[in-house]
Amino acid sequence: MKTQQLLLFLTFLISIQAAEYIKFEIEGEFAILTINRPKALNALNSEVLDELDKVLDSIDTYKIRALILTGAGEKSFVAGADIAEMSTLTKEQGKAFSKKGNDVFRKLETLEIPVIAAINGFALGGGCEIAMSCDIRICSENAIFGQPEVGLGITPGFGGTQRLARLVGPGMAKQMIFTGQNIKAEEALRIGLVNAVYPQNELLNEARKLALSIAKNGQNAVRNSKKAINDGLQLDIEKAIKIEEKLFGDCFQSDEQVDRMKKFLEKGKNKKQDKSKNLRESEEKKPEPENKEETKEKETTKN
Protein backbone atom coordinates (compact mmCIF):
# COMPACT_ATOMS: atom_id res chain seq x y z
CA MET A 1 0.00 0.00 0.00
CA LYS A 2 2.81 2.41 0.92
CA THR A 3 4.63 1.58 -2.31
CA GLN A 4 1.48 2.38 -4.33
CA GLN A 5 1.05 5.67 -2.49
CA LEU A 6 4.68 6.57 -3.14
CA LEU A 7 4.34 5.78 -6.85
CA LEU A 8 1.17 7.86 -7.02
CA PHE A 9 2.91 10.77 -5.32
CA LEU A 10 5.91 10.55 -7.67
CA THR A 11 3.57 10.44 -10.69
CA PHE A 12 1.80 13.48 -9.29
CA LEU A 13 5.08 15.40 -8.89
CA ILE A 14 6.18 14.56 -12.42
CA SER A 15 2.81 15.63 -13.83
CA ILE A 16 2.89 18.96 -12.00
CA GLN A 17 6.51 19.72 -12.85
CA ALA A 18 5.92 18.93 -16.52
CA ALA A 19 2.78 21.10 -16.72
CA GLU A 20 3.26 24.43 -18.44
CA TYR A 21 -0.31 25.66 -18.28
CA ILE A 22 -1.58 24.07 -15.07
CA LYS A 23 -0.66 25.26 -11.59
CA PHE A 24 -1.50 22.96 -8.68
CA GLU A 25 -1.17 23.94 -5.01
CA ILE A 26 -2.10 21.87 -1.97
CA GLU A 27 -3.41 23.78 1.06
CA GLY A 28 -3.97 21.27 3.83
CA GLU A 29 -6.96 19.07 3.03
CA PHE A 30 -7.91 20.85 -0.20
CA ALA A 31 -6.07 21.96 -3.34
CA ILE A 32 -6.25 24.79 -5.87
CA LEU A 33 -5.89 23.99 -9.57
CA THR A 34 -5.26 27.06 -11.73
CA ILE A 35 -5.44 27.13 -15.51
CA ASN A 36 -2.40 29.29 -16.10
CA ARG A 37 -2.44 30.83 -19.57
CA PRO A 38 -3.29 34.46 -18.76
CA LYS A 39 -1.93 36.01 -21.97
CA ALA A 40 -4.52 33.99 -23.91
CA LEU A 41 -7.17 34.61 -21.21
CA ASN A 42 -6.67 30.96 -20.18
CA ALA A 43 -8.16 29.67 -23.44
CA LEU A 44 -8.27 25.90 -23.79
CA ASN A 45 -6.14 24.34 -26.50
CA SER A 46 -5.07 20.71 -26.90
CA GLU A 47 -1.99 21.20 -24.73
CA VAL A 48 -3.98 22.67 -21.84
CA LEU A 49 -6.54 19.85 -22.07
CA ASP A 50 -3.78 17.19 -22.11
CA GLU A 51 -2.08 18.72 -19.07
CA LEU A 52 -5.35 19.03 -17.20
CA ASP A 53 -6.11 15.39 -17.99
CA LYS A 54 -2.78 14.22 -16.54
CA VAL A 55 -3.06 16.35 -13.40
CA LEU A 56 -6.58 15.09 -12.68
CA ASP A 57 -5.33 11.51 -13.02
CA SER A 58 -2.54 12.12 -10.52
CA ILE A 59 -4.61 13.71 -7.71
CA ASP A 60 -4.72 11.64 -4.52
CA THR A 61 -8.44 11.97 -3.73
CA TYR A 62 -7.95 10.46 -0.27
CA LYS A 63 -5.45 13.05 0.93
CA ILE A 64 -7.22 15.92 -0.83
CA ARG A 65 -10.87 16.26 0.19
CA ALA A 66 -11.92 19.13 -2.11
CA LEU A 67 -10.58 20.85 -5.21
CA ILE A 68 -10.89 24.50 -6.25
CA LEU A 69 -10.64 25.23 -9.98
CA THR A 70 -9.84 28.77 -11.13
CA GLY A 71 -8.06 30.75 -13.84
CA ALA A 72 -4.90 32.86 -13.62
CA GLY A 73 -5.37 36.63 -13.40
CA GLU A 74 -8.44 38.76 -12.72
CA LYS A 75 -9.76 39.14 -16.28
CA SER A 76 -10.61 35.58 -17.15
CA PHE A 77 -11.52 32.23 -15.69
CA VAL A 78 -11.41 30.52 -19.08
CA ALA A 79 -12.32 32.59 -22.15
CA GLY A 80 -13.22 29.51 -24.19
CA ALA A 81 -11.57 27.01 -26.48
CA ASP A 82 -8.68 28.27 -28.61
CA ILE A 83 -10.27 29.65 -31.81
CA ALA A 84 -6.92 29.80 -33.62
CA GLU A 85 -6.53 26.05 -33.18
CA MET A 86 -10.16 25.27 -34.10
CA SER A 87 -10.19 27.43 -37.25
CA THR A 88 -8.26 24.89 -39.34
CA LEU A 89 -9.88 21.68 -38.10
CA THR A 90 -11.49 19.23 -40.49
CA LYS A 91 -14.83 17.53 -39.77
CA GLU A 92 -13.14 14.51 -38.20
CA GLN A 93 -10.61 16.64 -36.33
CA GLY A 94 -13.44 18.76 -34.95
CA LYS A 95 -15.19 15.65 -33.63
CA ALA A 96 -11.91 14.45 -32.07
CA PHE A 97 -11.32 17.84 -30.42
CA SER A 98 -14.84 17.78 -28.98
CA LYS A 99 -14.25 14.27 -27.63
CA LYS A 100 -10.95 15.33 -26.03
CA GLY A 101 -12.64 18.19 -24.20
CA ASN A 102 -15.64 16.08 -23.19
CA ASP A 103 -13.42 13.28 -21.87
CA VAL A 104 -11.44 15.67 -19.68
CA PHE A 105 -14.52 17.55 -18.44
CA ARG A 106 -16.27 14.29 -17.66
CA LYS A 107 -13.23 13.20 -15.69
CA LEU A 108 -13.45 16.45 -13.72
CA GLU A 109 -17.20 16.00 -13.21
CA THR A 110 -16.82 12.44 -11.91
CA LEU A 111 -13.78 13.14 -9.73
CA GLU A 112 -14.48 11.46 -6.39
CA ILE A 113 -14.06 14.68 -4.41
CA PRO A 114 -16.17 17.86 -4.69
CA VAL A 115 -14.89 20.46 -7.17
CA ILE A 116 -15.57 24.17 -6.65
CA ALA A 117 -15.26 26.54 -9.62
CA ALA A 118 -14.03 29.99 -8.54
CA ILE A 119 -14.94 31.97 -11.65
CA ASN A 120 -13.00 35.20 -12.01
CA GLY A 121 -13.95 37.11 -15.16
CA PHE A 122 -14.77 35.56 -18.54
CA ALA A 123 -16.34 32.10 -18.59
CA LEU A 124 -17.25 31.80 -22.24
CA GLY A 125 -17.75 28.75 -24.44
CA GLY A 126 -15.40 26.09 -23.07
CA GLY A 127 -14.96 28.24 -19.96
CA CYS A 128 -18.66 28.08 -19.14
CA GLU A 129 -18.60 24.38 -19.99
CA ILE A 130 -15.71 23.53 -17.67
CA ALA A 131 -17.37 25.54 -14.89
CA MET A 132 -20.56 23.52 -15.37
CA SER A 133 -18.51 20.33 -14.99
CA CYS A 134 -17.73 21.36 -11.41
CA ASP A 135 -20.02 20.55 -8.48
CA ILE A 136 -20.37 24.09 -7.14
CA ARG A 137 -19.85 27.41 -8.92
CA ILE A 138 -19.13 30.75 -7.26
CA CYS A 139 -18.04 33.84 -9.16
CA SER A 140 -16.70 37.37 -8.88
CA GLU A 141 -18.85 40.43 -9.60
CA ASN A 142 -17.05 40.95 -12.93
CA ALA A 143 -17.78 37.42 -14.20
CA ILE A 144 -19.30 37.07 -17.67
CA PHE A 145 -20.93 33.83 -18.85
CA GLY A 146 -21.95 32.71 -22.30
CA GLN A 147 -22.05 30.09 -25.03
CA PRO A 148 -21.18 32.22 -28.09
CA GLU A 149 -20.31 29.32 -30.41
CA VAL A 150 -23.17 29.84 -32.89
CA GLY A 151 -21.64 33.20 -33.80
CA LEU A 152 -18.60 31.26 -35.01
CA GLY A 153 -20.67 28.78 -36.99
CA ILE A 154 -20.35 25.88 -34.52
CA THR A 155 -22.30 24.37 -31.63
CA PRO A 156 -21.01 24.14 -28.05
CA GLY A 157 -18.74 21.11 -28.14
CA PHE A 158 -17.61 20.40 -24.58
CA GLY A 159 -20.98 19.50 -23.04
CA GLY A 160 -22.65 22.91 -23.15
CA THR A 161 -25.83 21.76 -24.88
CA GLN A 162 -26.33 19.11 -22.20
CA ARG A 163 -25.17 20.57 -18.87
CA LEU A 164 -26.60 24.06 -19.37
CA ALA A 165 -30.10 22.68 -19.99
CA ARG A 166 -29.82 20.49 -16.89
CA LEU A 167 -28.69 23.41 -14.73
CA VAL A 168 -30.91 26.30 -15.84
CA GLY A 169 -33.68 24.53 -17.75
CA PRO A 170 -34.12 23.94 -21.50
CA GLY A 171 -35.78 27.31 -22.24
CA MET A 172 -33.04 29.46 -20.73
CA ALA A 173 -30.31 27.20 -22.15
CA LYS A 174 -31.77 27.49 -25.64
CA GLN A 175 -32.00 31.26 -25.33
CA MET A 176 -28.34 31.56 -24.27
CA ILE A 177 -27.07 29.13 -26.93
CA PHE A 178 -29.29 30.23 -29.86
CA THR A 179 -28.58 33.96 -29.34
CA GLY A 180 -24.95 33.56 -28.30
CA GLN A 181 -25.48 36.46 -25.88
CA ASN A 182 -23.46 36.77 -22.68
CA ILE A 183 -24.89 37.26 -19.20
CA LYS A 184 -23.44 38.98 -16.15
CA ALA A 185 -22.82 37.55 -12.68
CA GLU A 186 -26.13 38.63 -11.13
CA GLU A 187 -28.14 37.10 -13.99
CA ALA A 188 -26.10 33.89 -13.68
CA LEU A 189 -27.05 33.83 -9.99
CA ARG A 190 -30.73 34.49 -10.75
CA ILE A 191 -31.05 31.59 -13.20
CA GLY A 192 -29.11 29.17 -10.98
CA LEU A 193 -25.94 28.91 -13.03
CA VAL A 194 -23.86 29.97 -10.01
CA ASN A 195 -24.39 29.57 -6.26
CA ALA A 196 -23.02 32.93 -5.09
CA VAL A 197 -21.39 36.19 -6.26
CA TYR A 198 -18.52 37.88 -4.39
CA PRO A 199 -16.24 40.87 -4.84
CA GLN A 200 -13.17 39.96 -6.92
CA ASN A 201 -10.73 40.26 -4.00
CA GLU A 202 -12.84 37.95 -1.80
CA LEU A 203 -13.58 35.20 -4.33
CA LEU A 204 -10.68 32.82 -3.66
CA ASN A 205 -10.95 33.12 0.11
CA GLU A 206 -14.68 32.36 -0.10
CA ALA A 207 -13.82 29.29 -2.19
CA ARG A 208 -11.30 28.26 0.49
CA LYS A 209 -13.95 28.61 3.23
CA LEU A 210 -16.31 26.45 1.21
CA ALA A 211 -13.63 23.82 0.65
CA LEU A 212 -12.81 23.74 4.37
CA SER A 213 -16.47 23.37 5.33
CA ILE A 214 -16.63 20.33 3.02
CA ALA A 215 -13.31 18.86 4.18
CA LYS A 216 -14.37 18.78 7.87
CA ASN A 217 -17.19 16.33 7.13
CA GLY A 218 -17.01 12.58 6.68
CA GLN A 219 -14.89 11.99 3.58
CA ASN A 220 -16.57 8.76 2.54
CA ALA A 221 -20.01 10.27 3.18
CA VAL A 222 -19.27 13.30 0.98
CA ARG A 223 -17.92 11.11 -1.82
CA ASN A 224 -20.96 8.81 -1.69
CA SER A 225 -23.31 11.80 -1.63
CA LYS A 226 -21.69 13.21 -4.77
CA LYS A 227 -21.96 9.86 -6.54
CA ALA A 228 -25.60 9.44 -5.51
CA ILE A 229 -26.53 12.87 -6.87
CA ASN A 230 -24.58 12.56 -10.13
CA ASP A 231 -25.67 9.01 -10.91
CA GLY A 232 -29.26 9.58 -9.83
CA LEU A 233 -29.74 12.63 -12.05
CA GLN A 234 -29.52 10.42 -15.12
CA LEU A 235 -32.31 8.06 -13.96
CA ASP A 236 -35.96 8.10 -12.98
CA ILE A 237 -36.68 8.53 -9.27
CA GLU A 238 -37.36 4.83 -8.57
CA LYS A 239 -33.98 3.74 -9.93
CA ALA A 240 -32.21 6.74 -8.41
CA ILE A 241 -33.48 5.88 -4.91
CA LYS A 242 -31.96 2.41 -5.27
CA ILE A 243 -28.57 4.03 -5.86
CA GLU A 244 -29.03 6.13 -2.73
CA GLU A 245 -30.00 3.09 -0.66
CA LYS A 246 -26.87 1.23 -1.69
CA LEU A 247 -24.51 4.17 -1.07
CA PHE A 248 -26.23 4.91 2.25
CA GLY A 249 -25.71 1.29 3.31
CA ASP A 250 -22.09 1.36 2.16
CA CYS A 251 -21.38 4.07 4.74
CA PHE A 252 -22.16 1.76 7.67
CA GLN A 253 -19.55 -0.16 9.67
CA SER A 254 -16.85 2.09 8.27
CA ASP A 255 -14.44 3.63 10.78
CA GLU A 256 -15.74 7.03 9.76
CA GLN A 257 -19.39 6.25 10.50
CA VAL A 258 -18.69 4.40 13.76
CA ASP A 259 -16.36 7.09 15.15
CA ARG A 260 -18.50 10.05 14.14
CA MET A 261 -21.76 8.60 15.49
CA LYS A 262 -20.03 7.58 18.72
CA LYS A 263 -18.69 11.12 19.21
CA PHE A 264 -22.11 12.61 18.43
CA LEU A 265 -23.84 10.41 21.01
CA GLU A 266 -21.16 11.07 23.64
CA LYS A 267 -21.49 14.80 23.01
CA GLY A 268 -25.26 14.57 23.49
CA LYS A 269 -24.82 12.53 26.67
CA ASN A 270 -22.32 15.05 28.07
CA LYS A 271 -24.68 17.90 27.32
CA LYS A 272 -27.48 16.17 29.25
CA GLN A 273 -25.14 15.51 32.17
CA ASP A 274 -24.00 19.14 32.19
CA LYS A 275 -27.61 20.32 32.08
CA SER A 276 -28.55 18.06 35.01
CA LYS A 277 -25.51 19.22 36.94
CA ASN A 278 -26.37 22.89 36.36
CA LEU A 279 -29.96 22.27 37.49
CA ARG A 280 -28.76 20.57 40.69
CA GLU A 281 -26.32 23.38 41.43
CA SER A 282 -28.96 26.04 40.89
CA GLU A 283 -31.34 24.15 43.20
CA GLU A 284 -28.65 23.94 45.86
CA LYS A 285 -27.99 27.68 45.65
CA LYS A 286 -31.65 28.58 46.21
CA PRO A 287 -32.32 29.82 49.80
CA GLU A 288 -34.46 27.48 51.87
CA PRO A 289 -38.02 28.76 52.40
CA GLU A 290 -38.56 30.19 55.89
CA ASN A 291 -40.90 28.52 58.39
CA LYS A 292 -44.34 30.19 58.27
CA GLU A 293 -44.49 30.72 62.06
CA GLU A 294 -41.00 32.27 62.10
CA THR A 295 -42.01 34.60 59.27
CA LYS A 296 -45.18 35.59 61.19
CA GLU A 297 -43.16 36.30 64.36
CA LYS A 298 -40.73 38.51 62.39
CA GLU A 299 -43.61 40.47 60.88
CA THR A 300 -45.23 40.95 64.38
CA THR A 301 -41.90 42.08 65.89
CA LYS A 302 -41.39 44.48 63.01
CA ASN A 303 -44.83 46.02 63.54
Looking at the annotation, which residues are catalytic? 129, 149
Residue 96 to residue 116: CA distance in whole angstroms: 27
Instruction: Confirm if 199 and 141 have CB atoms less than 8 A apart.
Output: yes
Q: How many residues does the chain have?
A: 303
Least Cα distance to 167 among 197, 137, 211 occurs for 137
Residue 21 to residue 60: CA distance in whole angstroms: 20
Residue 29 to residue 114: CA distance in whole angstroms: 12
Instruction: Confirm if 128 and 147 have CB atoms less than 8 A apart.
Output: yes
Cα radius of gyration (the chain): 28
Q: What are phi and psi of 224, to 5 degrees?
A: -65, -35
Residue 231 to residue 169: CA distance in whole angstroms: 19
